[in-house]
Amino acid sequence: MTRLARPGGSPPTPRSVDVARLAGVSQKTVSRVLNDEQYVSADVRRRVLDAAAELGYRRNQAARALASGRTRSIGVVTLGSALYGPASWLMGIERAVREVGYTLRVAATIEGDPGGIASALTSLLGQGVDGVVISEPIDEGVGLISVDVPVLVLGAPPTFAAPQVVTARVGAGRLARAAT
Is 123 a residue whose pLDDT tops 50? yes
For the chain, the helix, strand and coil percentages under 3-state DSSP, each to the nearest 5: 40, 15, 45
CB 128, CB 69: distance < 8 Å: no
With cut-offs at 50, 70 and 90, classify the pLDDT of residue 3. very low
Is 174 a residue whose pLDDT tops 60? no
Average pLDDT over residues 24-33: 92
Is 109 a residue whose pLDDT tops 50? yes
Distance CA 53, CA 58 (A): 9
pTM above 0.75, yes or no: no
Is 5 a residue whose pLDDT tops 70? no
pLDDT of residue 42: 93
- HEC states along 146-175? ECCCCEEEECCCCCEECCCEEEECCCHHHH
pLDDT of residue 101: 83
pLDDT of residue 154: 74
Is 130 a residue whose pLDDT tops 80? yes
CB 117, CB 126: distance < 8 Å: no
Q: What domains can be seen in the chain, in order of their start residue?
A: 16-59 (1.10.260.40), 68-179 (3.40.50.2300)
Q: What percentage of the chain exceeds 90 in pLDDT?
A: 17
Q: Which amino acid is at 126?
A: G
Q: Is the dihedral of CA 127, 130, 134, 135 positive or negative?
A: negative
Which of 86 and 173 is assigned the larger pLDDT? 86
